[in-house]
Homo-oligomer: A and B are copies of this chain.
Amino acid sequence: MLPGFEEIKDAVMRVKPYVHNTPVFTSSTVNERTGATVFFKCENFQRMGAFKMRGAINAILQLPKTDRSKGVVTHSSGNFAQALALAARSLDVKAYIIMPNNAPLVKVEAVKGYGAEVIECAPTLESREKTCNEIQEKTQATFIHPSNDMNVILGQGTAAYELIREVKELDILLAPVGGGGLIAGTAMVQHYLLPESQTIGSEPFGADDAFLSLKMGKIQPSVNPITIADGLKTQLGDQNFPIIHKYVSNIIRVEESEIIAAMRYIWERMKIVIEPSSAVAVAALFRKRERFLKKKVGVILSGGNVDLSNLPF
């Protein structure tokens, strides 16, 4: 049973006090280049710098009070770690974040800065899950998955909801695909608000598990993904795949060089900082010109967390 429109509207109202209604940017330069009319939903301006804040806050808000008092736990070395930490702090809930011991210090510090307790594990799936189980047993904290959780998915969909409510008419929504939470939430919202429109995903060739999953009709693992878009290395899950399978039209794959060029282009022309994962959607827009020509396209710029000391240009 997939969520209905009422559940989407509920999520929108629920997260509203805790997230920014991020601005929608347009760029005449981008419109000229693409021949489309493009609306960028700037989730790089979201709290903690990415859309992940939406899902994290929605998931915690859906917990019964007794569970909330015991805290929440997740494993992530990326944006969801910071998102859950900040969402938990906003709601006065304790957060435990499992991070691999090779995670960049700057990310560990950011999570700690939001008041979460960081628990280190070895950089393997086994160690991560074992550590996570231990923390759950010890603290009774609720595990919240970064992308394969229906409340997280509903939360992520609120970005597309705001975008559609503001722009009104859109032919296509375009978003990057990582763990599948954002694209599933986006597609579901588009299905209810703009049933005649389409949702298209974008993925690096070096991490195209979602493309393959859609093609095969079942979840394919993400095996040794290699891409600068480190937020997109994860794989789909049983909660979001049915939604993606049902509502996402197709997934456009892009080269690493296209991701870097698109990222630079947006920084230079639009003067905003977007992370490589966001640039994947822009690269898809540039790569498949004929697909978007003369269309009104909503692009979710998913985040802006970049290590400025380590830029690809």
- Whether A49 lies near B271 (C-beta < 8 A) is yes
- Whether A271 lies near B23 (C-beta < 8 A) is no
Taking the complex as formed, is A6 at the interface, i.e. its CB lies under 8 A from any CB of chain B? no
The oligomer's copy count stands at: 2
Give bound CA distance, A44 to B268, whole Å.
11
Taking the complex as formed, is A308 at the interface, i.e. its CB lies under 8 A from any CB of chain B? yes
Taking the complex as formed, is A272 at the interface, i.e. its CB lies under 8 A from any CB of chain B? yes
Give bound CA distance, A165 to B204, whole Å.
45
Given the known interface contacts A45-B271, A271-B49, the answer about A313 and B308 at a Cβ–Cβ threshold of 8 Å is yes
Partner of A273, one of B45, B271, B311: B271
Contacts of A273 in B (CB 8 A): 267-268, 271-273
Contacts of A304 in B (CB 8 A): 271
Sample of 15 more A-B contacts, CB < 8 Å, known A264-B308, A308-B311, A311-B311: A23-B23, A45-B270, A45-B271, A49-B271, A267-B273, A267-B308, A268-B273, A268-B308, A271-B274, A271-B304, A272-B272, A272-B273, A273-B273, A308-B313, A309-B313
